[in-house]
């Protein structure tokens, strides 16, 4: 999982602004995922992508958007439509397209005030 990077580690934004979180992997993994973690909660799936130029909504996609223009990169945009954007965002990747063995990046803690 050392080959998955997320930046920045901490991000602060004002309400009403869109913000993009970076996720890069050099593991040549096919699938990539975005999860959100709130205090005392498990992780919840936002979006995932099995191949370049294709992605699917997860359980809580409203207010988020993604792109997958390169195999190594899967950025997440938190839009102003997301009602409660403050959270810990975790990106993961998997060597298979079927979701086994997901490895996580270090996460980005987003605070919106």
Q: Which of 23, 66, 87, 90 binds other proteins (CB under 8 A)?
A: 90
Residues touching other proteins: how many (CB under 8 A)?
29
Minimum distance from CB of 14 to other proteins (Å)? 24
Helix segments in 12-108, DSSP class H: none
Of 106, 54, 55, 98, nearest in space to 46 by CA: 55
Q: Does 27 bind other proteins (CB under 8 A)?
A: no
As measured in angstroms, the least distance from the Cβ of 80 to other proteins is 25
Q: Distance between CA atoms of 30 and 52, rounded to whole angstroms?
A: 8
For residue 29, give the nearest of 45, 48, 10 by alpha carbon: 48
Q: Interface mask (CB under 8 A) for other proteins, residues 36-65, using x and -?
A: ----xxxxxx--x-x-----x-xx------
């Amino acid at each position: 999982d050392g080959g998955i990077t997320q930046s920045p580690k901490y991000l602060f934004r004002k309400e009403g602004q869109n913000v993009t979180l970076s996720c890069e992997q050099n593991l040549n993994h096919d699938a990539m995922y975005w999860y959100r973690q709130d205090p005392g909660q498990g992780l919840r799936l936002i979006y995932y992508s099995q191949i370049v130029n294709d992605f699917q909504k997860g359980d809580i996609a409203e207010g988020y958007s993604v792109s997958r223009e390169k195999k190594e990169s899967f950025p997440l945009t938190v839009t102003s439509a997301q009602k409660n954007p403050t959270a810990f965002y975790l990106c993961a990747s998997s060597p298979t397209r079927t979701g086994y063995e997901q490895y996580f990046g270090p996460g980005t803690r987003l605070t919106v005030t």
